[in-house]
Amino acid sequence: MAVVCAASRFLAMAKSLWDWDEALFCLGMRSYDVTSHHPHPPGFPVYIALGHLARFFIHSDFRALQAVNLAAGMLLFPAMFMLCRELRFRFDVALLASALLLFFSNIWFFGGGAFSDIPSLTLVVFAAALFFRGCRDAEAYLMGAFVLALAIGIRPQNLAVGLFPGIVATWHRARANWRDVVFAALLGITITAIAFGEAAWVTGSTARYLDAIRVHSDYIARIDSFRAPNRPPLWRLFDRFFIKQYGSPLLSVLTSVLVLVSIIGSVRNRDRRIAFLAMTFGPVAVMAWLMLDRFSVTRFSLAYMPLFALLAIDGVRYLVRDRPKLVVAGSAALIAAFAVWTLPALTAVRREASPPVLAVEAARGRIEPSKQHLFVAFNMVPFVEYLDPAIPFTRVLDDRAMPLSAGDRQPWLLAEDESTPRSGFVFRRERGRLWNIARRHYFECGLEPMTRLPQFGDGWYAPERNGADEWRWMGKHSTTTLPSAEGMMKLRLNLNLPGELISRHPVITVRLNGAVLDRVSTVTHFERDYKVSPAAGNRANVLELETTEVLQQPDGDPRALGIQVRYLSWGPD
């Protein structure tokens, strides 16, 4: 079974990178800097280190990280099997639960790319198994501390998985020989400190590294966590995190029923093994539910899928009254159902380059910097930086972007297709079942000429640029003419105010075609989305921005600065 599971991992090997995080990991391989999100905080130092080891033998950053994932995917079966046996589950239950885990749709898919999740999961499952064995074996206890430290060096939240097994093992080892506890603590702390200390050192300084982590943590709390104002209530997300994480609607319901049967049976029988398993993976499951992006559940649920794999097989055991042959038959049918449902979704990933890669390749072959200028939507920037770092471009917000400068070169837009079909070069990946497994991004990307541009009228100063970023300053009042449109539209604004004006409590007013959309007071950063109706009769739309305070410039600069516009977007909702 271990050989079959290992061989099946090749069927998910992606032909190219596809996701935002994969691009960031590859950029981290090339030039590690957490402040630039190469990769994103906290930097995944152990994963990147493993990638560099593979890089000695593989001449591609993406393929090196993919090889790490492949090896981790192959080792996940023995890791899970060992954990089940250490929890005293029968041989058949342990084998079937381990196989089911490997053929869960999200486990299989994400193991074929350049994500850190599968290496992280494999290490932490081994660590938990070693800790449970460490209750009676000092060497296993020390090895558990070492492996858990490596897992934390990939994802710090793995501490939540290793905490309960570590406490149980520590209680036993302290009674046998307290020196084992001291040495294990020193070993774990040292390995973790080396990993993240190296990440801070390569980034440039501890202060810069910690500041990047703080900013990223604030972003997660503000945008993704239960404290985010636009996040649905936790009760509405329960099914997404704990029932629908498998991808297939039918198999999600079936597996969840089996999980529920196991929970009821375990409570009635006071099964300590299930309690130990829940105490191991339950905290990280609750953490994901509370803190992580609700649109990426299939990926973030990987951290607690071992819990559901074993509960599902245990549920089969209860349903068939623990008759071994029926346990094997029922579990094998469930595993086969997952394999049959998932396998067709992996074909396109394995055989075809992803849409963002094809779009960047099209830009490389089509854009001549002397004649055209490339504008790149924010979520496509890592792909351009990694795949074609030499091409000059300007960063914009999204596929509705209105460039802040036009110039005499034809503007082209490279973007993920989120709102309207592209009119130039379009690259698509069939959604199908893959739509329910992967993160729902980058299925359509395109490169198109920008023909409908804004006109910056009264009140605007000349555009400014620094590297890939551009902006415009305005005074007290500005007028911008946006293209005509039909149907509901989305207007997106990203504005800054001079910090010196905040004490004067400036009021920002946003008008479209004479109607007031917003009026905001005393902010340094202003980011809003508006759903609006455009001007009737196919007429142009007039955007007016106004502020009550401006900042006079020193050193003879005649400009009076009121609002800095960083990004402007206008397109179908």
Q: What is the mean pLDDT of residues 63-75?
A: 97
Residue range 81-103: mean pLDDT, rounded = 97
Binned at pLDDT 50, 70 and 90, residue 270 comes out as very high
Q: Which of 73-82, 413-422, 443-452, 550-559 has the highest mean pLDDT?
A: 73-82
The alpha carbon of residue 474 and the mean position of all alpha carbons in its chain are separated, in whole angstroms, by: 36
Confidence of residue 223 (pLDDT cuts 50, 70, 90): confident
In this prediction, residue 522 carries a pLDDT of 76
Q: What is the pLDDT of residues 466-515, one digit of tens each?
A: 989 999 999 999 999 999 998 899 999 999 999 888 888 999 999 999 99
pLDDT in tens, 375-390: 999 999 999 999 999 9
pLDDT tens-digit readout, 150-169: 999 999 999 999 999 999 99
Please tell me the predicted confidence (pLDDT) of residue 422. 60
Q: What is the pLDDT of residue 558?
A: 87
Whole-number pLDDT of residue 31: 93
Q: How confident is the model over 194-209, as pLDDT tens digits?
A: 999 999 999 989 999 9
Mean pLDDT of 187-195: 96
Indicate the pLDDT class of residue 321, thresholds 50, 70 and 90. Answer: very high
Q: Are 199 and 209 in contact (CB under 8 A)?
A: yes
Q: What is the 3-state secondary structure (H, E, C) of 259-278?
A: HHHHHHHHHHHCCHHHHHHH
pLDDT tens digits for range 291-307 = 999 889 999 999 999 99
Query: Is it the case that residue 557 has pLDDT exceeding 90?
Result: no
Of 65-69, 133-137, 302-306, 519-523, minimum mean pLDDT range: 519-523
- State the DSSP string of 193-217: HHHHHHHHHHHS-HHHHHHHHHHHH
pLDDT (average), residues 438-445: 92
pLDDT at 436: 94
The pLDDT score that the predictor gives to residue 106 is 96
Paired tokens of 403: 């460039």
Q: pLDDT for 322-343, tens place per residue?
A: 999 999 999 999 999 999 999 9
- pLDDT tens per residue across span 38-55: 999 999 999 999 999 999
Q: Are 419 and 491 in contact (CB under 8 A)?
A: no
CA distance linking residue 573 with residue 570, whole number of Å:
9
DSSP label at residue 530: E
> What are the structural domains, with CATH classification, of the chain?
24-351 (no CATH), 355-449 (no CATH), 455-572 (2.60.120.200)
Supply the pLDDT for residue 570: 94
pLDDT given at position 185: 96
Ramachandran region, residue 558 (left: φ > 0; alpha: ψ -120 to 50; beta: rest): alpha
